[in-house]
Amino acid sequence: MMLVTGATGFVGQALCTELSRRGIEHRPISRDPRPGFLAMGAIDGASDWSAALADVETVVHLAARVHVMNDKAADPLAAFRAVNVDATVNLARQAASAGVRRFIFLSSIKVNGEATAPGRPFTASDAPHPQDPYGQSKLEAEEALLAVGAQTGMEIVIIRPPLVYGPGVKANFASLMTWAGRPFPWPFGLVENRRSLVFVGNLVDFILACARHPAAANRVFLISDGADLSTGGLIGKLATAMGRRALMLPVPSRLLEGLAALAGRRAAAERLLGSLQVDIGETIAVTGWSPPFSVDEGLRLTVAAAMQDRS
């Protein structure tokens, strides 16, 4: 039996769909009552997991307070810690007491940092360098989980994905798809950044690989599609998937950075012009896993779902 928290979220829904397709027994957790789910209410450091953990061998912990732009919390770090650290540790301790064999935690590449230098992708062995409350809370959760594992013998698996996309994706990626379908030129023809992404189908497949692979125990893994894209390359592939062609103007990156600074959009420019790459070589070497979906397949499926929703 596999327990899945955050089962109503973007990754959780995809995971539970795949578990059902493969005929793997699982217990999805939701905040509110809904058919086929076990309702837990708000998950915090005092939640009682005794009923949910009955006969569970593996926990996949996806529930989290996610990163948001312009966080309105009075104390963002305390708000992140309450869910991402306290609630996670509480579940892990109860899971260990209930005899759970393996605890899989979905962390974030933000534990490593916000950007990489050209040709210097993040690796799992790099010293953590979170730069916001969300990334800090994920690092603290990782450290606490590894301590629980060392104390109890429960196996811990930590996965740090970059941006996850796929059918039903929301927020910035959904906005980018909308803009990519519009017929105007983009100023990214000279932007040579590289960013790693992971298709939700690849992430789900890797989670399931980690649930059973002996060598995954007590390891930290980075995950991606295995093919990094520039901003212009990503927009071009999205446009192609929509049956369009994206026109890229040759504007120097430094000029774009300067214009963004003048407009007070430096952070947005860093996301569009900067690099964030992950090295999945160790992930492949340890587990033998490889992404079942190429980045082109993932983007095509994502765009097709979005276009169907709009029709």
Return the active site residues.
134
Start-to-end CA span in the chain (Å): 39
Alpha carbons within 13 A on the beta-carbon side of 246: 25
Exposed/middle/buried for residue 61 (C-beta within 10 Å: 0-12, 13-18, 19+): buried
The 8 Å CB, 24+ separation contacts for 255-261 are 256/187, 256/191
Distance of CA 58 to the CA centre of its chain: 19
* 281 half-sphere exposure, CB direction, 13 A CA radius: 6
Rounded distance between C-alpha atoms, residue 206 and residue 221, angstroms: 10
Query: Cα angle at 282 between 232 and 301, to 5 degrees?
Result: 40
165 φ/ψ angles, rounded to the nearest 5 degrees: -130, 165
